[in-house]
Amino acid sequence: MDILMREEEMTMKRLAYGALLLAVSLLAGCGSSVVEKSTTRDVDVQLVAASKDFPNADLLVTPESVQANLNKSGLVIIDARGAGYDTAHVPGAISMQHSDFWERGKGLKDTATLEGLLGKAGLTRDSKIVIYDNTSASWGAAGRIFWMLEYLGCTDVHIMNGGWDKWIADGRPVEAAKNTLPEKKFTAQVKSSVRATAAHIRDRYQDSDFAIIDARTDEEFIGWQLYGEARGGHIPNAVQIPYAWYYATDKTVLNYADMKTLLESRGITRDKEVTSHCTVGIRSGYVYFILRLMGYGKASNYDASIVEWAADANLPMEKLPNYQMLVDAAWIKNLISGSNPQTYPGHGYVILDASSSKGADNMDDYNKGHIPGALYLNIYRLEGGFPTYPYTQPSDGNLLPDAKLQTFIEQLGITHKTTVVIYSKTKAASQPFRVAWALLYAGVEDVRILNGGWDAWTAGGGTIETKVNSSVPASFGISVPAHPEYTVSTAGMNVMRLDPGSALGDMRAWQEFIGETNPYLHNGFTAKGRIPGAIWIDQPGWYFDGDGTLRSYTEVEKTWRDKGIIPGKKIAFYCGTGWRSSVGFMYGYLMGFPKISNYDSGFYGWSFENNPMDTGSPKLR
């Protein structure tokens, strides 16, 4: 589905609110759906910055100041929404569709054509312009037009903070009458430096003073081809900062401090030349606006974006080796509807709602709602000592013994060919990863995880079912385990810790790693410390973004590389009892690391066998 189609679909939903919006306009004192135009010729427009903290604060203006200047002829207001203008809009606003000004895979139309279109719309290069859209639902429409106007030489262009969302939430006046401006002559003065090209990015993407922001979603970045791209993935060295992250919860722009952290924590600093891209340059146009607002002196938008880049086989692209394991809500919807989503092998599927309840099943959250067809799974039932945990024979690991594991999987109706989709109601949880690791170890060939879990399903408009689903038992088809190498014994860990070609990744809290705490302290598990030689690679919380989706794998890859966790080594991940470390294992699996395992016994098992331990902060290498 094309981005514009997605944008139209999202914005069309707002048309249902048309009658309500018109009622708001009457209550706000408009008097009718058509605002009477003032005859005043006052051109002294006074716009107010939404926040003085931003280096270029005047670029982002308050809705209050826009409303205060509605009747002044010196102000041009552009409604950049894909739909909804005919129902209600800011009084006096003209409608402008960014799609009129560019071609897919090529970017902007030629300058003469743009001059003609903008002149016909009533704009000149020195017009004072305020643009708004319906924020995150517009996919960057206002930013795309802002960027285009600056590229063509306009110097007095602004975006209204919070857009249409905030305007309506504040109960400000609206009208339905279509507005047009007298035709003018627009003469461009092209600022070529703000428009990036494929050739320029190809020549600069490896330079330390050059940064690329990829404004697309996780799925697009890691390799899914959602909009007809010739190839999936991203430009090498690109930093993924999804478009939706630039907004606060009320759809206004993030405050300066949070925006600064968002950018600089990912290496996007003002001393660098920074370009942005997305699929066809819409979302990245908004990123360009953010960079300008933040005072970045060398900012640009690659408006032809990934559609052009991917079409040229000579230009490099990268993707997550096992990207297909991470799916979004749309993929699952297609699976459930029987429409054969990308990469689905067609051997049937099982969806697992993974929760954790010690001692006994607790289906309360499942009964409140789940993905249609999903089975309830208490992952403690994957543990050999259920209902106690951890159990008291740690040397063999915490997972069910192989024969019992096979029986358990078969009772869920899973064969080694079944596509298994796993999600959790708990945000940023290790449960789906623990289940995924166990299934891969057993030999299931097609394991998927819903990136972002239950929140992603509901945010994506997924339907909710409340009935209890039952499984139909099936024969697994092969002997368990098909991949014994995905786990490692305590004896194996003792060998690995002394092997320079191996690395042990500790995924517990820092306080556990240095021996200050032990959060378990039951079943005789009182030891504190770590396995000698282990490398702390952070606890699972670091591996998730604020929305519960997985942190960009390129960030994880770099962090691991800096700590010596590299594909060429034999790597074992561990935590306390094998749950948290399954997140590390699955990241390694997603990234195609060839020699990885999960130490299922964990530090719990290690501590019961008179093994050596270290405490305190490790010495720097």
Q: CATH number of the domain at 3-190, please?
A: 3.40.250.10
CA pair distance 503, 573, nearest whole angstrom: 9
For residue 401, say if its preceding peptide bond is cis, omega within 30 degrees of 0. no
CA pair distance 370, 254, nearest whole angstrom: 32
- 10-residue mean pLDDT series, the chain (621 residues): 38 36 36 35 81 98 97 94 96 97 96 98 97 94 98 98 97 96 97 98 98 97 96 98 95 97 97 98 98 98 98 98 98 96 97 91 96 97 78 70 96 98 95 97 98 96 97 97 97 96 98 94 85 96 94 96 96 95 98 97 89 87 39
| Tokens at 545, concatenated | 């973004």
For position 458, what pLDDT does the model report? 97
**Which of 2.40.33.20, 3.40.50.300, 3.40.250.10, 3.40.50.2300 would CATH assign to domain 323-481?**
3.40.250.10
CB 381 within 8 A of CB 408: yes
CA pair distance 80, 100, nearest whole angstrom: 11
- Residue appearing with tokens 């952290």: 261
Of the candidates 166, 170, 150, the one whose C-alpha atom is nearest the C-alpha of residue 158 is: 150
CA separation, residue 277 to residues 14, 68, 242 (Å): 27, 35, 11
Q: Find the angle CA(541)-CA(250)-CA(133) to the nearest 5 degrees.
A: 120
Phi, psi of 79 (to 5 degrees): -90, 110
CATH superfamily of the 193-311 domain? Rhodanese-like domain (3.40.250.10)
Of the candidates 235, 231, 232, the one whose C-alpha atom is nearest the C-alpha of residue 199 is: 235
CA pair distance 60, 618, nearest whole angstrom: 48
For position 73, what pLDDT does the model report? 87
Residue 515 DSSP symbol: T
Of the candidates 420, 425, 308, the one whose C-alpha atom is nearest the C-alpha of residue 366 is: 425
SS3 label, residue 399 = strand
CATH superfamily of the 487-607 domain? Rhodanese-like domain (3.40.250.10)
Residue 70 DSSP symbol: T
Rg (CA), the chain: 28
- Residue appearing with tokens 């259920």: 386
Q: How many helices (DSSP H) and strands (DSSP E) are in the chain?
A: 21, 20
Identical topology for domains 3-190 and 487-607:
yes
For position 397, what pLDDT does the model report? 82
CB 157 within 8 A of CB 102: no
| Tokens at 305, concatenated | 């974006």
The domains of the chain are located at 3-190, 193-311, 323-481, 487-607
Concatenating the DSSP letter of every residue in 353-374 gives EEE--SSS---HHHHH-BSTTP
CA pair distance 364, 200, nearest whole angstrom: 56
For position 26, what pLDDT does the model report? 35
